[in-house]
Amino acid sequence: MKTIYLDNNATTAVAPEVRDAMLPYLTDLYGNPSSMHTFGGQVGRAVEDAREKMAALLGAQPEEILFTSCGSESDNTAIWSALQTQPEKRRIITTRVEHPAILNVCQYWERQGYHVTYLGVDGKGRLDLDEYAEALSEDTALVSVMMANNEVGNIYPVQRMAEMAREKGVLFHTDAVQAVGKVPFRLSETAIDMLSLSGHKLHAPKGIGVLYIRKGVRFRPFLRGGHQERGRRAGTENVPYIIGMGEAARLAAENMEAERRDVARLRDRLESGLLKAVPDCMVNGDVENRLPNTSNIAFKNVEGEAILLMLDRLGICASSGSACTSGSLEPSHVLRAMGVPFNYAHGSVRLSLSRYTTEEEVDFVIAHMPDVIKTLRALSPFKD
């Protein structure tokens, strides 16, 4: 049975070009990039080349790029550093729809005595900038708002929000894990101070991330030890994965516009096909301002986990929300924050595409989803 993978917001396939770029550094080129000898030095130069590729994708300077192990480490490091360098400031602003990598960290700091403001969203998952403006104050240490939502795909106005924060002398961080490679921007032209991303959402392997730190922003290391990463993160560099991340960044920069067009076309085909074929369903989120690859569809009076199980039997991989919260029978915190009606929220499924998704795969899902929903509604305890 063929696997139809529509869960790319959870993780992506490693691109063949990325795999090929990594292989020499898993075999022959195994030197330590910090070593003085030529054998290690060539590895060190390859790491710096990968840093330059990532900087080019982000519109940043290479020295502003810090390699980490994942997006969660980057998020933790950004928040830690902002609080440690400004001990006199005791406020944090974030949103109710952030990824757990931000929400759980903010809740930790809340227990340590910090005041955290969680901005709400409307029924389409959009933020209210007036509410944000009222929350900003000079004793705010950090604002952390995601660039794009992992569940419904909404793109948030983080560039404007960063400008508003700068006017108050407040640091601004964005979790851009879902946005990088899909949303064009140049960090040098924004007021964003720190940005997190993860390789495995970008067709690089799991276990590699990046934290962008604007030049001039005060910083405290989260991991201490050796001098690696200019003294900002201890530990011998994960060379093969850094090389892979650099190649993934190059591919993303090269193909972004074409991918945004082609993937969005397939997403719209999938979405419109399902809306026509299945009664009583709707799209969650802001359809006018979202990621090109993401569709979150709510099917009335059906249990989302049951949908996923039946799709899995057909070889279709999808999700009910964040992979970090799978297994929970409750509707996602994002849909609850949006106020999606309970009998729709429980039946919400996220379908996320990639450059490798085909038209034939999309049509297969459109052809089989109606029977899945019809079967489950006949068995469902939910009634109008």
The DSSP secondary structure of 298-349, one letter per residue, reads: EETTS-HHHHHHHHHHTTEE-BSS-GGGTT--SPPHHHHHHT--HHHHTTEE
Residues forming beta bridges with residue 209, ordered by sequence position: 68, 198
d(C-alpha 186, C-alpha 239), whole Å: 26
Dmax (CA) for the chain in angstroms is: 72
Q: Which of 233, 242, 206 is nearest to 55 (CA)?
A: 242
φ, ψ of residue 361 to 5 degrees: the values are -65, -45
Give catalytic status of residue 106 as yes or no: no
Which residue among the candidates 106, 281, 317, 324 is catalytic per the annotation? 324
Find out whether 318 and 326 touch, Cβ atoms under 8 Å.
no
Cα(349)–Cα(357) distance, integer angstroms: 17
CA-wise closest residue to 202 among 299, 57, 102: 57
3-state secondary structure 356-382: CCCHHHHHHHHHHHHHHHHHHHHHCCC
Collect contacts of 309-313 with beta carbons under 8 A, ≥24 apart: 310/372, 310/375, 310/376, 311/349, 311/365, 311/368, 311/369, 311/372
Residue 95 and residue 121: Cα distance in Å, rounded?
A: 8
Active site residues: 324
